[in-house]
Amino acid sequence: MPQPGPTARHVFVYGTLRRGGSNDISRFSPPPERVGDGEIAGTLFDLGAYPGAVLGGQTRIKGEIYRIAPALEVQLDALEEVKPDGSGEYIRREVVVVVAGRSIGCLVYEIHPARIEGNPVIESGDWMSRA
């Protein structure tokens, strides 16, 4: 598998993009490289077919970190309905995730705050093991 070039970035995925999810990131092309598992500060909301994360706070969200090529980043932005003016379903943010003692800057898709009202919190912070 060819390695991503120097413009490759990392993404933290916490919902349907996780391994085994309905939008499993490994199905995309160019293929991402799995870096490991991690957690970020935030609250995870159950929006039905997918989750939405609100960053910050004392609770944790579990997810996976992948190295992605710029072409894959464009596809993820489209999937998450990111809009340049911040009015899309998700807003692309930057977070630092510690993986195996190493800090990695990652993209993360935060749900637009207007979309969480009335939706339940996933207390475990883990979309893949929600009850």
Residue 4 resides in a domain: no
Give tens-digit pLDDT for 10-19.
999 999 999 9
The number of distinct structural domains making up the chain is 1
Residue 79 resides in a domain: yes
Residue 114 resides in a domain: yes
pLDDT at 25: 97
Residue 1 resides in a domain: no
Q: How far apart are CA 124 and CA 44, in angstroms?
A: 8
Residue 3 resides in a domain: no
Q: How far apart are CA 1 and CA 54, in angstroms?
A: 34
Give tens-digit pLDDT for 83-95.
999 899 999 999 9
Q: Residue 5: pLDDT above 90?
A: no
pTM: 0.92
Q: Lowest-confidence range among 4-18, 41-55, 74-88, 100-114? A: 4-18
Q: Where residue 22 sits, what CATH number does that domain have? A: 3.10.490.10
Residues with catalytic annotation? 80
Give tens-digit pLDDT for 42-65.
999 999 999 999 999 999 999 999
